């Protein structure tokens, strides 16, 4: 099964790292990606650019509306992701615990839903007979 590990951290805290600490964090993430490749957990991973480059789009009454920045005003921002393969949630949590960003913020682990793309979201996960 595929799991998405969403890495959240305070951008200001990451930006405050010294050059050496930043380089060490990048090297640690790259090393983890290589370990995950060897263990066949790795699917994809990437950092995200700053929230200053983000936009949120909503469509209401058929009209798009765009605002700068992320949707939620929070202390921690989505900073990147790891898409992994794992047997189950327990194994995915074990892998997520190795992500360096967990020391600076948090990692949300979510299983990718397996569903028929024609199935309405409201019915996903429900018994079609019931």
For the chain, 130 residues long, the average pLDDT of each consecutive 10-residue run is 95 93 96 97 95 88 86 79 97 97 94 74 51
Q: Give the pLDDT of residue 67.
A: 85
Q: Are 10 and 77 in contact (CB under 8 A)?
A: yes
3-class secondary-structure state, position 109:
strand
Distance, in Å, from the CA atom of 62 to the CA atom of 127, rounded to the nearest integer, reads 32
Give the range of the structural domain holding residue 98, as residue numbers without chain letter.
Answer: 2-50+76-123
Distance, in Å, from the CA atom of 69 to the CA atom of 50, rounded to the nearest integer, reads 9
The reply to whether 62 falls in a domain is no
Q: Give the pLDDT of residue 44.
A: 97
The reply to whether 21 falls in a domain is yes
Distance, in Å, from the CA atom of 30 to the CA atom of 45, rounded to the nearest integer, reads 10
The reply to whether 6 falls in a domain is yes
CATH number at residue 99: 3.30.70.1060
Give the pairing of strands 77-85 and 42-47: antiparallel
Q: Give the pLDDT of residue 127.
A: 47
Number of domains making up the chain? 1
DSSP state of 120: -
The reply to whether 58 falls in a domain is no
The reply to whether 90 falls in a domain is yes
The reply to whether 67 falls in a domain is no
The reply to whether 113 falls in a domain is yes
Q: Give the pLDDT of residue 68.
A: 81
């Amino acid at each position: 099964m595929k799991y998405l590990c969403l890495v959240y951290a305070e951008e200001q805290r990451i930006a405050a790292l010294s050059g050496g600490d930043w380089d060490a964090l990048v090297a640690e993430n790259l090393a983890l990606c290589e370990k995950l490749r060897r263990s066949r957990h790795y699917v994809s991973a990437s950092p995200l650019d700053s929230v200053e480059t983000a936009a949120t789009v909503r469509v209401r009454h058929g009209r798009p509306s765009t605002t700068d920045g992320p949707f939620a005003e929070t202390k921690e921002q989505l900073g990147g992701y790891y898409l992994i393969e794992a047997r189950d949630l327990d194994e995915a949590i074990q892998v997520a615990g190795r992500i360096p960003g967990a020391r600076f913020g948090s990692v949300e682990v979510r299983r990718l839903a397996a569903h028929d793309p024609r199935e309405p979201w409201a019915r996903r996960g429900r018994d079609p007979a019931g």
